Amino acid sequence: MKPTSMGQAVLIAAAVLYLVSVFFLSSPIWMGFSLNALIIAVVALSWNVTGGFGGLFSFGHAVMYGTGAYASAVLQVNYGVNAWIGLVAGIVAGAVMGAFIGAITFRFGLKGSYFALVTLAFAEVMRICASSFAFTGGGAGLQVKLDPGISTLQFQDRTVSYTLLLLVVAAVMILTAVMKNSRFGAYLIAIRENEDAARALGIDTYRIKVIAMAISGAFGGLAGVLYLQTMLYIDSTVVYGNAISVEALIGPLIGGAGTVWGPLVGTLGLHLLGEGAKHLLSNAPGLNFVLYAVVLICALRFLPQGLMGFAARIGPFRKKEEDDDNA
């Protein structure tokens, strides 16, 4: 997680400074905004495990997010299960869903755009299923009862929610860094760079990719539960919709896929841009999306390795060979 250049250090410091400043801003707007951004950052970190390190571009990461959220909601609403157990169940359900998708798609050798389309299809199938069955609330969705307390994982004071979310994001980033620096991470990166070569070197690519999907699914499921506990209401479009899948991949792509800080930096940057555009153009709803899109296109065109990749080229303590991966 150590920055390799002055540029990266500045980016990371800016992100941390912003996250800390929320405690002192005493603004409900920024608090609400930051809570949402952090939940999306967890989904982005989830996508980063497979998309960033493994080169497995998913267009349907909402499938893990939604499965985690629904698993927890169904247990809490239909069976009165404690929210903390719901949290664990959501993480496990996300991991199982990830592993399942990985197992069947990689078994049939799907990769690249085929893999992306299959994940998209899975998310859509799950959306339709969730809106069809009675136990998932059908089209009306599921609503967790408002009952603030530690045991219900609901907090009246949003500063507490924010602190916990920050800790979760930090934990996910630490796990990502540990994974990246482990033998497993090296295998995954090797698969991203050249899967045939990795297999030729004796790496069980199928197993590694399925495990990566399971880890990614666990993070995605966790994000889904965090959303549920924040909003206390989910329906199929909200958690399995395309918007989540797009947000999951856009943060890492802008911030720097395959880096530890990239998804957080990208997600925060994009959300701040969107919020800034909204305030700047408050009299013309919708125009903020145009500005957002223009900046996004420019970023994708001129920053192919994301903000972290760009920042790696700035500053005195750069190590050229580690530019892309060491943050």
Partner 1 sequence: MTHHLNRRSLLKASGALALASGLAAPSILRAQAATVKVGILEPLTGNLAYNGTQCVAGAKFAVEALNAAGGIKSMGGAQIELVVADAQSRPEVAAAAVDTLVEAGVCAFTGATASSLGLASTQAAAKYNLAQVVSIGTAEAMVERGLPNVFRFTPGVNKCTTVALDNLRLLNEGAGSPVKTAAIVHEDGPFGSGMAKILNERLPGIGIEVVETIQHPTPQRDFNNIALRVKASKADILIPSNYINEYTLMAKAIRQQRVELMAIYSILGGAASNIKFVRENNEVAQYVMDCNHWYDPQKPASVALAENVAKAGLDLTYDVMVAYASVQVIADALERSASDDREKMIEALAASTFDGSIMPYGPTKFVNGDNVNSQPVNTQIRGEKIELVFPKEYATAEAVFPMPKEG
The residue within the footprint of partner 1, chosen from 200, 285, 320, 321 (CB under 8 A), is 285
Residue 286 in contact with partner 1, rule: CB under 8 A: yes
Per-residue contact flags (x/-) with partner 1 for residues 92 to 131, judged by CB under 8 A: ------------------------------------x--x
Residue 206 in contact with partner 1, rule: CB under 8 A: no
The conformation of residue 309, written as its DSSP 8-state character, comes to H
H helix intervals, 26-82? 28-47, 62-79
Tell the smallest beta-carbon distance from residue 59 to partner 1 (Å). 17
Residue 70 in contact with partner 1, rule: CB under 8 A: no
Residue 18 in contact with partner 1, rule: CB under 8 A: no
Contact in structure between 292 and 273 (CB atoms under 8 Å): yes
Instruction: State how far the Cα of 22 lies from the Cα of 3, in Å rounded to an integer.
Output: 23
The residue within the footprint of partner 1, chosen from 17, 108, 151, 156 (CB under 8 A), is 156
> Taking contact as CB under 8 A, which single stretch among the options 30-38, 57-65, 105-113, 166-174 is the one that binds partner 1?
30-38
Instruction: State how far the Cα of 293 lies from the Cα of 298, in Å rounded to an integer.
Output: 9
For partner 1, which is the closer residue by CB, 19 or 215? 19
Instruction: State how far the Cα of 234 lies from the Cα of 136, in Å rounded to an integer.
Output: 10
The helix/strand/coil state of 133 is coil
Residue 31 in contact with partner 1, rule: CB under 8 A: yes
Pairing mode of beta strands 233-234, 142-143: antiparallel
The residue within the footprint of partner 1, chosen from 13, 20, 146, 197 (CB under 8 A), is 146
Contact in structure between 31 and 162 (CB atoms under 8 Å): yes
Residue 238 in contact with partner 1, rule: CB under 8 A: yes
Instruction: State how far the Cα of 57 lies from the Cα of 250, in Å rounded to an integer.
Output: 11
Instruction: State how far the Cα of 128 lies from the Cα of 283, in Å rounded to an integer.
Output: 36
Residues that bind partner 1 (CB under 8 A): 27-29, 31-33, 35-36, 39, 128, 131-132, 138-141, 143, 145-146, 156, 158, 227, 230-233, 235-238, 243, 278, 285-286, 289
